[in-house]
Amino acid sequence: MRQFAQPILLAALIAAPLTAAGAQDLTAPFLKVTPRTADEAARIARVTAPTQDFSAAEKFEANPAGAATVRARTDADAFSQPSGNISFERELDFKLGNGLFKKLWVSSPSSTLASDGLGPLYNARSCQRCHLKDGRGHPPEGPGDDAVSMFLRISVPAGAKDEMTRIEAFLTSQGEALIRTRPDPVYGGQMQDFGVAGHPAEYRLDVTWEEIPVQMNGEHASLRKPTWTAQDLGYGPLAPGAMLSPRVAPQMLGLGLLEAIPATDILALADPLDADGDGISGRAQVVWSFEQDRPMLGRFGYKAGAPTVREQSAAAFAGDVGISTPLFPAHWGDCTDGQPACRTAPHGGDDARGTEIDAEGLDLVTFYSRNLGVPARRDTDAPEVLNGKRIFHQARCTACHVPKFVTNRLPDQPEQSFQLIWPFTDLLLHDMGEGLADNRPEGLASGREWKTPPLWGIGLTPQVNGHSYYLHDGRARSLLEAVLWHGGEAQSARDHVIGLTPQDRADLIRYLESL
């Protein structure tokens, strides 16, 4: 099967050749890794091979994060536990990182020197405000419900004379033709809907919904199609051709384990030219690492725009909270030259730290984010769950939502080291059809492509966050609606689900709820 083929040449990652130097840059490990032996590689191939037996749960299936799996709690803290195999000493670092994750930042100048530097424009005052209980955000539910756990990304087409970024220069040197975009000259790369005193918010998020009926075998459903707009613009009109794309805060669990999957295992799944003719391509995102100063495989974000947990965390501090870090040291966050008052506002980086959160603080938040534990599976041997698993495989959902990997051996990260994990993702970009298209390219991702999201923990979303909204903008009100929005490369899987009997369809959803 495609997802278990031998590693392909990196040339096939994009529809143009990569030089040997480029290939080396892309796959070089950023973590301290102990190479696998031939015996280990053979054992890994056996244990990650797809099952053909759906009469009982697979060995170790109940522990989706290996030894890092945590007990499945029945309260809202199910996503907030440290890795199950964390040591007592390292759990202290986890708790310190949690404190910084929850910290409410205040504007400068302030007497609380360790907490000032908010904004001046921002989406939330803390990481926790978006990732409530380390879970999933939601769209506004009606009048009076703000959009604190989501925002709009924004970009404009690049001009012919615009200077290329480093990643664009690298990919151009490899022969890749890019759909180039730039941040809005005034509003930047994302829109902030809050501002500190004296600084108007950039916008107010507004949405209208259109109901679309869907007829299935024996049942019917309704999908809600959103139209997102930026209202009450605080800094003038958007630039011509501005492209907006909504983003709901994703759940946080298992990030360190996703980071620990060998890049070669992910690249082996890519089939950008659909060489095997199965209708499913899968492309690797390639991004510039500001920390490593080289191209790297993108893994995090809805379009895999960040290569590591640390860079994703630093980017969120900058864009969401307006906090400077050693990776992104601009004290004004996402403010642009078109917002001079924001650029010259007081900030919290004037003391010995240099930036509003220093390297030690960023490392603690990164450690916390890497070690949010994945809860144990529930009811893995229940007959309806096993039937749902059979249907999940039969519909070929596993072509993108790849069940199993074995992580790298990481001597400096024992919690993530050499674990059999079940994240249900290939971390690749896939064309999901016009229905889910945001029509906003990002890096190598087109306006129709999205990274396959991991599914572990997804069934606990209502318990943790009190809602059942899914997909990048929360449009799906249930797991079934999320499936029905699939198109493009996933169209055949969607059609398979539509044709199921109501009982089999319910069993498929029951299986997803057990993850």
Per-residue pLDDT tens digits for 130-178: 999 999 999 988 776 777 899 999 999 998 888 889 988 888 887 777 7
pLDDT at 459 over 60: yes
Residue of 212, 223, 214, 217 whose CA lies nearest to 505: 217
Q: Of 500, 196, 150, which Cα lies nearest the Cα of 335?
A: 196
The string of pLDDT tens digits covering residues 166-218 is: 988 888 887 777 778 999 999 999 999 999 999 999 999 999 999 999 999 99
pLDDT computed for residue 202 by the predictor = 98
| Parent domain of 461 | 2-514
What number of H helices and E strands is found in the chain? Answer: 15, 14
Q: Are 116 and 447 in contact (CB under 8 A)?
A: no
Q: State the Cα–Cα distance between residues 213 and 231, nearest whole angstrom.
A: 29
Looking at residue 13, its pLDDT comes to 37
Contact 120, 107 (CB under 8 A): yes
Stated pTM of the model: 0.94
Q: What is residue 190's predicted lDDT score, i.e. its pLDDT?
A: 97
Residue in this structure with the two tokens 């993850």, named with its chain if needed: 515
- How far is 336 from 338, CA to CA, in rounded Å? 5
CA-to-CA distance for 45 and 264, rounded, in angstroms?
13
Record the tokens describing residue 239, joined without a space: 């630039």
Tell me if the bond preceding 454 is cis, omega within 30° of 0. no
Q: What are phi and psi of 213, to 5 degrees?
A: -75, 145
Q: How far is it, in rounded angstroms, from Cα 256 to Cα 300?
A: 11
Handedness of CA 61, 64, 68, 73 (dihedral sign): negative
What mean pLDDT is reported for the chain? 92
Entry field: residues in the chain: 515
- Cα–Cα distances (Å) from 185 to 205, 229, 230, in that order, read 20, 18, 16
Rounded Cα–Cα distance for residues 236 and 280 (Å): 43
What whole-number percentage of the chain has pLDDT above 70? 94
Total domains in the fold of the chain: 1
